Chains A and B, each alone.
Chain A
Amino acid sequence: MGFILISLIILIGITSYFLGNLRAKNLRTSNQKNLKSLSHYYGYYVALWAVVPALLILLMITSFKSFFIEQYVLSDFIALGSYTETELSLLFTQIENTAMGIKLFDENTILIDGAVNKLNYINKTSENLTYVTVLGFSGLLVLYSIFNINHKLNSRKIVEKFLIVLYFTCSLVAIMTTVGIIFSLLYETLRFFSQVPITDFLFGLNWSPQRVFVREAGDLDTRDLANAFGAVPLFAGTFLIALIAMCVSVPVGLLTAIYMSEYASPKVRDWAKPIIEILAGIPTVVYGFFAALTVAPLVRDIGQGAGLTVSSESALAAGFVMGIMIIPFISSLSDDVIKSVPQSLREGSYAMGATKRETIVKVLLPAALPGIVGSFLLAVSRAIGETMIVVMAAGLNAKLTANPLDAATTITTQIVVILIGDQEFDSPKTQSAFALGLTLFVVTLALNFIALQVVKKYTERYD
């Protein structure tokens, strides 16, 4: 239905553009007087009146319709007064299913039949009503705006004003997204912290939210809650895996960047740079598959060959693959930074008789250090926020360990483990995922902020 209605509105919009245009042209020729704007701006003016309010009304109707329909259909049940809100919404879904021909239950038949009839009736009426309201409104506004066209009306200004407002609204989406993120995270997190003290979450050593889930929500013991949501093992696991990833990606990424900017011929550079950047374009789920199916068994076999006990979900395998994923982030950024060190510094160093390595290590790297550190910090924030690799290749059970051969779990893994599938929003288990998300959000933002500040503050200008 929405599709047809929107197409109709657009059709009205196109027609009214031509109407407005025509009307403006007529006005000009008949009165021999110039209009304030070019005639097609009057077309746009009418078209905007035809389309924009109609779409807004449609949006409003669709967002409030379901609520009113539900109230109307359930009015008999509400009048009985014996149903709770959740029961009512359940009832409504059942009525909807019955209306679609799926017979689910046989009690209360008279009331239900009545409600089903009401639902069918109101669905049909509301659809017709929507059509009439939206199209009627659109048509009225077209008439109004066409008759509004006169010599004094500067339609160009109005159209341009509208466009500016539209553009501004679009740029507000970024703010709304941030607000949405903060709001959704904070809301659930605060509910979580009203049940679990924040200190227990931040400093507790035991993470086992499943335990809460198994018990009935009614007889939850506060001591139980305190023991179940200690996030330290997750922080430790995240840190461990990120550390392993950085151990792989920092040396490789930095040396690659040095090779690219200082040693490689332009030809090698042209080939190698895009190929390494492919690593950044591969979806992380692919790395996860690769880590879980190829690298993890390999690490286990090698470890067992050396007489070590290696978990099949070792932190080492996940961290290693994550390190490979991060290489291009470090190498591209560092490459840019090293290249932007002025040539005069290089030449000065060579003139003193320094070898290339000495120039790089003692002159270029110190000069480029802020940028390089910035790239490391961005890479760390990537590693902490990375989800799929750890979900697929790292452990799922929280265990406080510093052994890279052991299974470790991360913040992101636990968010996915908790929220995948069906959720109950009243349980602290679900809310804990949002608390973890907030932690993640804050930490990555802080890292990015620090990275930016480092780059801004310590970059020296050579001019």
Chain B
Amino acid sequence: MTDRIEQRINSLNKRLNSEKRFRIYCIGAMSFALAWVLILFLNIFSSGYSAFYRTVIQVDVPFLNLIEDTTQFSEMSSEDINNLSMYSFSKKAIYRLFPDIEEKKDKKMLIRLFSIEFEQEIREFLKSNKSNINEAETIYLTASDDVDQVNKGNYPRDLDEDKRRIKDIQLLFFDDLVDRGLVSYEFNLPFLMRGDSREPELAGVGGSIVGSLFTILVVLILSFPIGIFAAIYLEEFAPKNKVTDFIEININNLAAVPSIVFGLLGLGIILNTFGLPRSTPLVGGIVLSLMTLPTIIIATRASLRAVPPSIREGALAVGATKMQAVMHHVVPVAMPGALTGTIIGLAQALGETAPLLLIGMVAFVVDVPQTPLDASASLPVQVYLWSESAERGYVEKTSATIMMLLGFLILMNLAAVLIRRKFETKW
């Protein structure tokens, strides 16, 4: 008797224990998923935030050596200044940081502490301040990528010299400059404004941000009206027949087609058959609109369906035609849902990369695009491009680009949530 009771208790304990274990597994699984969200964000942010400031080195530039009287600059046009030969002058200004250096090799090393556009930077300074240039001016010149990374502590200094991109003598120069207080940080505005570059310290996301904006604009212009009209037709006017069924099956299937297939469509039809220009936000936008249309149509249909029949019937009862009932009464009520769906579709399109690779939006573009017909990259493509580059400086830039991309996505999703909260009517 007691044996059987004990058996029962044992079995009950076993069951309860396995219940506990199961619960722990479940919690473990969920924590695992949550942990990866955290790890992902921490990883990106910790390596990306440093791209938002940059290392500059303070250099005294004796403009008097360039011209007898510095007031003459104010009479020069930008063109004249562009024509000034300033290369050796700029180099000499940098040599003045270490007047004792004689050897040519060392001088070269010193120059390499700066970005290759140091001459251009001095010229720009001259252009923007030409009316009041003193005999000598202090200019903050962009440091080269290697110096920038060493200064930020991202680059290991204790490697062997031949494995390092930055040489011992350069580190010596650099440490001396730090001791003299000439090395400082400033907000990395060029990173936000400029296009791509082969030099990490000069590369910026400005071009790809504009490219992304143009692309999203094209997507919005194309997919918002088409998606909403299609949804209105299918939900309100379509007769129940084979054509309608076929359209519906198509929409549901398109929602599941891998994005890269849309890239193949863009390459095969839009580029090769219609001959639209490669690498442009226009083509990217067209391809991405085709991809986001199902999302918008499905969301809009759901919100049209959620409008109570009483609204429709009320309008019909007072003599409105079907079109008037739909356009004046049903669609305005369903609009918040349609807008939410559109924004979510746009967010998807903003983060999409694969189809853009196939239609050539991976071109290396230095200039910030001016119209949707200029070749350009987009933010996610920029991430891909830079992640393929070997230079260490691109790692933080890539992470920073991802931060901005995620920032845009979060903003868009927040907007969608807000629209839904604010305008959605519960019936």
CB neighbours (8 Å) of A416 from chain B are: 260, 354, 357-358
* Cβ–Cβ contact A183 & B269, under 8 A: yes
Q: Would you give the 0/1 interface string for A412-443, flagging 1 where the beta carbon is closer than 8 Å to chain B?
A: 10011001110101000000011001001100
A185 within 8 A of B: yes
* Cβ–Cβ contact B253 & A256, under 8 A: no
Contacts A416-B354, A440-B261 given; indicate if A378 touches B362 (C-beta within 8 A).
no
* Cβ–Cβ contact B269 & A387, under 8 A: no
Chain A: CB-nearest residue to B268: A184
* Cβ–Cβ contact A181 & B26, under 8 A: no
User: CB < 8 Å: which of A187, A259, A288 contacts B387?
Assistant: A288
Q: How far is the CB of B70 from chain A (nearest CB, A)?
A: 37
Q: How far is the CA of A188 from the CA of B413 in the complex (A)?
A: 39
Q: How many residues of B contact A (CB 8 A)?
A: 84
Contacts A173-B293, A181-B257, A289-B387 given; indicate if A272 touches B34 (C-beta within 8 A).
yes
The residues in B between 208 and 233 inclusive whose CB is less than 8 angstroms from any CB of A are 225-227, 229-230, 232-233
* Cβ–Cβ contact B258 & A387, under 8 A: yes
* Cβ–Cβ contact A415 & B260, under 8 A: yes
A206 within 8 A of B: no
A401 within 8 A of B: no
CB neighbours (8 Å) of A214 from chain B are: none
The residues in B between 241 and 289 inclusive whose CB is less than 8 angstroms from any CB of A are 246-247, 250-251, 253-254, 256-265, 267-269, 272-275
CB neighbours (8 Å) of B253 from chain A are: 178, 445, 448
Q: How far is the CA of A171 from the CA of B203 in the complex (A)?
A: 43
A444 within 8 A of B: yes
* Cβ–Cβ contact A160 & B395, under 8 A: no
* Cβ–Cβ contact A156 & B321, under 8 A: yes
* Cβ–Cβ contact A434 & B409, under 8 A: no
A147 within 8 A of B: no
Chain A: CB-nearest residue to B294: A174
A166 within 8 A of B: yes
CB neighbours (8 Å) of B383 from chain A are: 283, 285-286, 289
**Of A163, A170, A284, which is in contact with the most chain B CB atoms at under 10 Å from its CB?**
A170
Q: How far is the CA of A160 from the CA of B322 in the complex (A)?
A: 9
User: CB < 8 Å: which of A181, A281, A425 contacts B272?
Assistant: A425
* Cβ–Cβ contact A419 & B358, under 8 A: yes
* Cβ–Cβ contact B36 & A174, under 8 A: no
A51 within 8 A of B: no
* Cβ–Cβ contact B258 & A386, under 8 A: yes
Chain B: CB-nearest residue to A3: B371
* Cβ–Cβ contact B26 & A285, under 8 A: no
Contacts A177-B290, A282-B406, A437-B261 given; indicate if A170 touches B233 (C-beta within 8 A).
yes
CB neighbours (8 Å) of A391 from chain B are: 354, 357, 384
* Cβ–Cβ contact B233 & A167, under 8 A: yes
**Of A185, A281, A440, which is in contact with the most chain B CB atoms at under 10 Å from its CB?**
A281
Contacts A171-B233, A173-B230, A281-B409 given; indicate if A412 touches B264 (C-beta within 8 A).
no
Q: Would you give the 0/1 interface string for A224-262, flagging 1 where the beta carbon is closer than 8 Å to chain B?
A: 000000000000000000000000000111111011100
Q: How far is the CB of A62 from chain B (nearest CB, A)?
A: 11
CB neighbours (8 Å) of A284 from chain B are: 351, 353-354
Residues of A within 8 A of B (CB): 63, 66, 156, 160, 163-164, 166-168, 170-175, 177-178, 180-181, 183-185, 187-188, 251-256, 258-260, 263-264, 272, 275-276, 278-279, 281-290, 292-294, 324, 327-328, 331, 355-358, 360-361, 378, 381, 384-388, 391-392, 412, 415-416, 419-421, 423, 425, 433-434, 437, 440-441, 444-445, 448
Closest 3 CB pairs of A and B: A385-B258, A184-B268, A283-B351
Residues of B within 8 A of A (CB): 15-16, 18-19, 22-23, 25-30, 32-34, 36-37, 40, 43-44, 225-227, 229-230, 232-234, 237-238, 246-247, 250-251, 253-254, 256-265, 267-269, 272-275, 290, 293-294, 297, 321, 323, 327, 347, 350-354, 357-358, 360, 362, 380-381, 383-384, 387-388, 395, 398-399, 402, 405-406, 409, 413
Not counting A163-B323, A289-B402, a sample of 14 additional A-B residue pairs whose C-beta atoms are within 8 angstroms of each other reads A160-B323, A177-B290, A178-B254, A252-B32, A260-B30, A263-B27, A276-B34, A285-B381, A288-B387, A357-B23, A392-B384, A433-B264, A440-B258, A441-B257
